[in-house]
């Protein structure tokens, strides 16, 4: 299979896929997400330095600072009034991290995040999809112009230098690579945090195991990624040769394929007869939340590190937190997989451990 529509999807090659199609951005971009063969290798090598273990570890103190700042803001709210934890915590944390990593100036962030959010919503009408597509590239073009005029020690500047230094990136590849790392770098972590909080709050026995120390936060994160992966389905792949399935169906060369990661995570043959249940004591098993093979997510270590910082700090700060709606509406998307809102009652905020008196509960 391939992810390159320009090489392997006859419908796209023939011009029959319009910009008004809500998924157009997903198949039309020119970056490592859609690249094939040597093109993919070239583009991935340019982005990989952004997510080295050293660079990821260096972000840890800043992630802790952002987490504490957001929790302080939550603690200042009335304890008995519902708050949307997605909007107030799960969303701003990874957004601030990825924008700092790439040096996105403050004046571009609201528009950029608004338009990027729309590409994950697969129910938008065609005219809005087309307008969003144009607005997004206007903002990315403005970002590259800003960083060219004001280069800094950030990853947007590094990618621009890869384009302007030896032409390893075309201008379109530069814009689309920025789009990929900025959008994927926040949306997936937003859903990881929101799904983990929802899983624990709606399964109090599981939360009790974590609070008692019998189950670690790494287990919570991996079970969340299996049970409710941040991406449910990902468009598209294309058959480069006929693929015969056990069912007797054959996928013909050039046909489009939608991979459904959410189904893989709850496959009873892989995860047992209780695969649909959220169980933090489940023995570790492979999942596909970050993909597989050459397209495995480069940002997986960063997403896990953000979750390791944010989740224990949240539940430590608000020990009486409870869901205000045990079944909030889901995002209208078959790509992004998480709650549209996450209403909770925080309860009384507990001071940070360092601020509590010895022996205080």
Residue 237 forms part of a structural domain: no
Most confident of 8-17, 158-167, 294-303: 8-17
- Count of the separate structural domains present in the chain: 1
pLDDT of residue 361: 38
Does residue 358 have a pLDDT over 50? no
Burial class (CB in 10 A: 0-12, 13-18, 19+), 205: exposed
Comparing C-alpha atoms, which of 224, 242, 235, 26 is closest to residue 119?
26
Does residue 166 have a pLDDT over 80? no
Does residue 303 have a pLDDT over 70? yes
Burial class (CB in 10 A: 0-12, 13-18, 19+), 21: middle
* HSE toward the beta carbon, residue 246, CA cutoff 13 A: 0
User: Residues near 295 by Cβ (< 8 Å), separated by ≥ 6?
Assistant: 3, 32, 33, 40
pLDDT of residue 183: 84
What's the CATH code of the domain at 199? 1.10.630.10
Place of tokens 């953000």: 306
Q: Is the dihedral of CA 25, 29, 33, 34 positive or negative?
A: positive
**Angstrom distance (rounded) from CA 164 to CA 148:** 9
* Poorest-pLDDT segment among 4-13, 44-53, 200-209, 216-225: 44-53
DSSP letter, residue 284:
P
Residue 360 forms part of a structural domain: no
Q: What is the mean pLDDT of the chain?
A: 90
- How many CB atoms are closer than 10 A to CB 210? 18
Residue 58 forms part of a structural domain: yes
Place of tokens 């093109």: 39
Q: Is the dihedral of CA 57, 62, 63, 65 positive or negative?
A: positive
Cα angle at 295 between 29 and 89, to 5 degrees?
A: 80
pLDDT in tens, 63-117: 999 999 999 999 999 988 999 999 999 999 999 998 888 899 999 988 888 888 8
* Domain containing residue 29: 16-230+298-351
Residue 273 forms part of a structural domain: no
**Angstrom distance (rounded) from CA 8 to CA 247:** 24
Does residue 360 have a pLDDT over 50? no
Residue 252 forms part of a structural domain: no
Place of tokens 């287990």: 219
- How many CB atoms are closer than 10 A to CB 327? 9
* Poorest-pLDDT segment among 56-60, 143-147, 167-171: 167-171
Contact at 8 Å (CB) between 278 and 199?
Answer: yes
Residue 235 forms part of a structural domain: no
Question: Beta strand pairing status for 256-260 and 243-244?
Answer: unpaired
More confident residue, 14 or 18: 14
* Poorest-pLDDT segment among 18-32, 252-266, 333-347: 18-32
Contact at 8 Å (CB) between 311 and 220?
Answer: yes
pLDDT of residue 112: 83
pTM attached to this predicted model: 0.91
User: In b/e form, how buried is each residue of 253-286, taking b as 16+ CB within 10 angstroms?
Assistant: ebbbeebebbebbbeeeebeeebeebbbebeeee
Does residue 320 have a pLDDT over 90? yes
* Poorest-pLDDT segment among 32-46, 154-168, 257-271: 154-168
**Angstrom distance (rounded) from CA 261 to CA 229:** 7
CA 155 to centroid of chain Cα atoms: 18
Does residue 123 have a pLDDT over 90? no
pLDDT of residue 20: 82
Strand partners, 83: 344
- How many CB atoms are closer than 10 A to CB 187? 26
Residue 242 forms part of a structural domain: no
**Angstrom distance (rounded) from CA 206 to CA 278:** 8
In the predicted model, what is the mean pLDDT of residues 332-358?
Answer: 82
Does residue 22 have a pLDDT over 60? yes
pLDDT of residue 198: 97
More confident residue, 360 or 151: 151
Residue 5 forms part of a structural domain: no
Q: Give the C-alpha distances (Å, rounded to integers) separating 253 from 33, 35, 44, 62, 87.
A: 20, 18, 26, 48, 43
In the predicted model, what is the mean pLDDT of residues 265-285?
Answer: 92
Place of tokens 């990618």: 159
Contact at 8 Å (CB) between 228 and 334?
Answer: no
């Amino acid at each position: 299979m391939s992810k390159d529509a320009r090489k392997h999807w006859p419908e796209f090659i023939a011009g029959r896929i319009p910009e008004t199609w809500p998924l157009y951005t997903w198949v039309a971009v020119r970056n490592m997400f859609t690249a094939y063969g040597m093109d993919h290798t070239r583009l991935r090598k340019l982005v990989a330095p952004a997510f080295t273990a050293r660079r990821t570890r260096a972000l840890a103190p800043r992630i802790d600072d952002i987490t504490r700042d957001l929790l302080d803001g939550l603690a200042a709210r009335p304890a008995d009034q519902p708050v949307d934890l997605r909007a107030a915590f799960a969303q701003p944390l990874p957004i601030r991290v990825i924008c700092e990593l790439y040096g996105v100036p403050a004046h571009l962030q609201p528009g950029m995040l608004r338009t990027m959010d729309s590409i994950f919503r697969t129910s938008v009408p065609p005219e809005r999809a087309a307008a969003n597509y144009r607005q997004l590239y206007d903002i990315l073009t403005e970002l590259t112009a800003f960083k060219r005029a004001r280069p800094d020690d950030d990853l947007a500047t590094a990618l621009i230098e890869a384009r302007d230094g030896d032409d390893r990136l075309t201008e379109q590849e530069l814009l689309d690579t920025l789009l990929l790392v900025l959008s994927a770098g926040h949306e997936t972590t937003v859903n990881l945090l929101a799904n983990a909080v929802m899983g624990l709050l709606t399964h109090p026995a599981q939360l009790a195991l974590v609070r008692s120390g019998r189950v670690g936060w790494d287990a919570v994160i991996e079970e969340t990624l299996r049970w409710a992966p941040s991406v449910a389905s990902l468009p598209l792949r294309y058959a480069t040769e006929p693929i015969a399935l056990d069912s007797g169906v054959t996928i013909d060369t050039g046909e489009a394929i939608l991979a459904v990661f959410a189904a893989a995570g709850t496959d009873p043959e892989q995860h047992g007869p209780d695969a649909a249940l959220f169980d933090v004591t489940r023995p570790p098993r492979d999942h596909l939340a970050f993909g597989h093979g050459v397209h495995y997510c480069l940002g997986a270590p960063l997403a896990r590190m953000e979750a390791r910082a944010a989740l224990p700090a949240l539940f430590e700060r608000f020990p009486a937190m409870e869901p205000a709606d045990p079944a909030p509406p889901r995002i209208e998307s078959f790509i992004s997989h998480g709650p549209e809102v996450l209403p909770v009652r925080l309860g009384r905020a507990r001071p940070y451990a360092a601020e509590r008196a010895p022996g205080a509960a």
